[in-house]
Structure formats: C-alpha cells, structure tokens
C-alpha cells in the first residue's frame, strides 16, 4: 500500500514534531519559518504569503496537509489580536485556498476553547460559544474549511508528553519543579480530558488514512481537573504531591477567560478509528518508556 504523503505546518512545534516523529506512519514533509530544522525533510516558508503557500503545496504534492501552526498562548492572543489573527486565521485562509485549488486534503487543528465551559464534555454537535480571542479565531478558522471537498477539523485539548527540542511544556515543567522541591499551584476548577500528544498524532494520521471528512473531537479517556492531573503525574513518578497546591482560576488574574468545565467527547473519532483514546495513566506509561524522555530525563525513566 502506498504510503501517505503528509505536509505538516508548524513542524517545529510540540504537535508538529510529534507527527514527524511517527516514523513509518507516513512520508513526512515539514514546513515553517525556522531556518535550521535538523535532518527532517523541511521547507522554510512564510505561511502568510499566499503565493508561497500555493507554490509549496504544488511542489510537495502531498495527500494531506495537517496544519499545526498557531498562536496558542491565549493571553497573548488577547494582547496582540493582529498577530493572533495572522497565526490562527490568515494562515488557514492561505492553506484552504492552496488545498482547494489542488484537491489536497486539509486538516485543521482546533480547540475546546470554542466552547464556554459550562456543560462539558462536549460532542461535535454542541453549540459553540468562545469566551476569548483565541477561541473566537479558532472557530473562525474552522469555518474556512467548509467549502473544501477534502477537509477535517480536529478539536483537541490539554496536550501532554515529551517531544525533544520543543521547549518546556506542562509535563516537563511540573516534573522539574516538584522534583526540585518547588511548591506549585495548579487550577482545581478547570476540567478536561488530557491528551497524550503521540496518541493525538496517531489519530490524525488515522483520519487521513481513512479519508475522513468533517469535524472530530480528540481528547484522552480520563476526565479530570488540572490539579488532579498534576497530582497523578507526581504520584506516578514518585514525587511529593504535597508540593502541588490547588488554586482557583479567578485568583490567577489571567487576561483571557478560560472555559472551566470543558472536555471533549470522542465517540465519533472512535467509530472511525475503531479504538478509544488512551487514559491518562496509559499515557503516563507510554511517556515513561519513551526513549527520548528516558534519555533526557533518566531520573524518571521506567
């Protein structure tokens, strides 16, 4: 069977690099603004340049484009709406135009922030009501795919795991802080279902392979608060969970409003892929055996 050829935008980010790390799952091509991208097959491109995007899609001729390029710092989106629109909408407009002209499939990664967090976990047909600039722009980006013949939107949330050379994330921050004896505060009123990043990456490839269409939700199989997540993470790696203190979101003085009782139902995704997402404990087991994690954090290896 011919291997899928997938072009990944935002190839230097957390999700982008996790996709490119799935050797044998597809023929991968990465693209982004960075000059040095290591030894991956990579194209430097300005994704806000519509002509450059069209030329790249025509040159690489992928089966699918998975767009992981985005501004995901929700408070920064409130501070710099212009940059947020550039990253979260204009790039998608250019990709939709290029893929629509060539018949290439386009997969857009979206978020649970399109919901208000009043009654999660949410199914795909639930009504949207974003509370932040980030959520509003991601919802706008979803709608840009509606006229395409081959298009998929995947909403996800709370990515965790370890991907080399992508900077700190919640997982590595918490492990390093607590193992160093530092007390941390974690929200106990934000609910969701944490998603192991490589589980998400494999699900995205699976949807491409199945030639799926439409809207899907992808989150882990465990519904919990961020504070519960942090406690379970610390206990799994034999750290002092007494250093993890609960805090309410309103006490943090955050700029952007967060959906509190969120979470995503995954029934539609499970029906297409024939499997359920990993539970949080299963994801931690995968993390603890990941060779890159074991190399860079040997004190936590299993």
Measured between its terminal Cα atoms, the distance across the chain in Å is 36
CA-based torsion, 175, 200, 108, 103: positive or negative: positive
Q: Give the residue among 236, 228, 230 at the shortest CA–CA distance from 191.
A: 228
> How do strand 64-67 and strand 105-111 relate by DSSP bridges?
parallel
Q: Are 37 and 11 in contact (CB under 8 A)?
A: yes
Q: Are 32 and 53 in contact (CB under 8 A)?
A: no
CA–centroid distance for 299 within its chain? 27
Q: Are 121 and 193 in contact (CB under 8 A)?
A: yes
Q: Are 70 and 137 in contact (CB under 8 A)?
A: no
Q: Are 145 and 106 in contact (CB under 8 A)?
A: yes
Residue of 42, 113, 134, 160 marked catalytic: 134
Residue 255 tokens read as: 């700029």
ω before 61 within 30° of 0 (cis)? no
DSSP state of 221: S
Q: How far apart are CA 110 and CA 117, in angstroms?
A: 15
Residue 68 tokens read as: 């992981």
Q: Does the annotation mark 196 as catalytic?
A: no
Q: Are 161 and 171 in contact (CB under 8 A)?
A: yes
- Contacts with 57 (C-beta within 8 Å, 6 or more apart), sequence order: 7, 65, 95, 98, 99, 102, 104
Residues marked as catalytic: 134
């Amino acid at each position: 069977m011919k291997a899928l050829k997938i072009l990944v935008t935002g190839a230097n980010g957390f999700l982008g690099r996790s996709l490119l790390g799935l050797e044998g799952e597809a023929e991968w091509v990465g693209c982004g603004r960075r000059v040095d991208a290591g030894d991956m097959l990579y194209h430097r491109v300005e994704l806000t340049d519509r002509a450059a995007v069209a030329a790249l899609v025509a040159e690489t001729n992928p089966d699918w484009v998975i767009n992981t390029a985005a501004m995901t710092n929700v408070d920064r989106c409130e501070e710099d709406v212009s940059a947020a629109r550039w990253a979260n909408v204009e790039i998608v407009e250019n990709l939709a135009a290029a893929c629509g002209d060539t018949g290439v499939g386009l997969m857009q990664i979206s978020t649970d922030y399109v919901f208000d967090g009043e009654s999660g976990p949410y199914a795909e047909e639930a009504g949207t009501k974003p509370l932040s600039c980030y959520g509003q722009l991601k919802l706008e980006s979803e709608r840009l795919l509606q006229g395409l013949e081959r298009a998929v939107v995947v909403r996800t949330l709370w990515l965790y795991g370890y991907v080399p050379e992508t900077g700190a994330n919640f997982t590595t921050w918490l492990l390093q802080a607590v193992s160093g004896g530092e007390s941390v505060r974690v929200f106990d009123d934000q609910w969701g279902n944490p998603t192991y990043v490589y589980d998400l990456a494999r699900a995205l490839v699976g949807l491409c392979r199945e030639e799926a269409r439409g809207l899907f939700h992808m989150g882990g199989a465990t519904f919990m608060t961020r504070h519960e997540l942090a406690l379970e993470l610390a206990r799994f790696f034999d750290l002092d969970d007494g250093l993890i203190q609960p805090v309410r979101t309103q006490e943090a003085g955050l700029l952007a409003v967060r959906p509190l009782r969120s979470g995503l139902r995954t029934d539609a995704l499970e029906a297409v892929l024939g499997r359920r997402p990993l539970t949080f404990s299963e994801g931690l087991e995968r993390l603890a055996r990941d060779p890159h994690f074991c190399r860079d954090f040997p004190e936590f290896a299993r």
